[in-house]
A and B are shown apart, each in its own frame.
Chain A
Amino acid sequence: GAGVSQSPSNKVTEKGKDVELRCDPISGHTALYWYRQRLGQGLEFLIYFQGNSAPDKSGLPSDRFSAERTGESVSTLTIQRTQQEDSAVYLCASSLRGTIQETQYFGPGTRLLVL
């Protein structure tokens, strides 16, 4: 596609429910990143996928958070038993091969509100 897309753009859920956020990276990009942006804050790294390598999950804040990626395409970020503190914008980014020199291209994010 032309850019990174994310769905839904907005999600309102009740505390305790599970949510799934989707990211479609730029076609051909092997590297994919998830970030969380709390209100008024910068971006926090969550997880990184590169090709078929084991993902870097070092940024996931708790075991309620998990992410999957199908080959080198779509990724889903799942938050189980959501808490109000999970309310944030979740941003996805992709880059061609994940090398250090490359630019990460960001999607528009999913705004999650947990009531």
Chain B
Amino acid sequence: AQTVTQSQPEMSVQEAETVTLSCTYDTSESDYYLFWYKQPPSRQMILVIRQEAYKQQNATENRFSVNFQKAAKSFSLKISDSQLGDAAMYFCAYRSAFRDDKIIFGKGTRLHILP
């Protein structure tokens, strides 16, 4: 079975600084998708960034980028120029490329932005 592990329950970063959130996963599958979701206090899960495992290039969305290390099964999220609005729970997630059902989520990292 696939698992997703986020080892940092909470992190803090100064506004305008850069922070990296860690995620590791375990799978025997060769093809899959990895995601970072943001969940602000409103509870709405918002997709931040998505990486397809067969793509070598790290995904980037504005201030958000990932460091995808397939051999190490690591998928970290880097947030540059942190803003107060980035404060939220961040979930790393995995989805098989062979099954069209569930996404497997990590337990999340709560990110605090210090003004």
Residues of A within 8 A of B (CB): 31, 33, 35, 40-45, 48, 50, 56, 58-59, 89, 91, 93, 98-101, 103-109, 111
Contact = CB atoms under 8 A, between A and B. Distances in A.
Looking at B45, B46, B93, B97, the one whose CB has the most chain A CB atoms below 10 A away is: B45
14 contacts: A41-B108, A42-B91, A42-B93, A43-B45, A59-B102, A98-B100, A100-B33, A100-B95, A100-B96, A101-B33, A104-B47, A104-B103, A106-B37, A106-B45
A98 B101 CA distance: 7
Interface in B14-71: 33, 37, 42-47, 50
Nearest to A104: B103
Given A42-B4, A106-B44, A108-B44, A100 B106 contact: no
Interface residues of B, number: 26
Given A91-B45, A106-B45, A43 B101 contact: no
B78 interface: no
A108 B46 CA distance: 10
Given A33-B102, A43-B103, A43-B105, A108 B91 contact: no
Nearest to A4: B44
Contacts of A108: 42-44
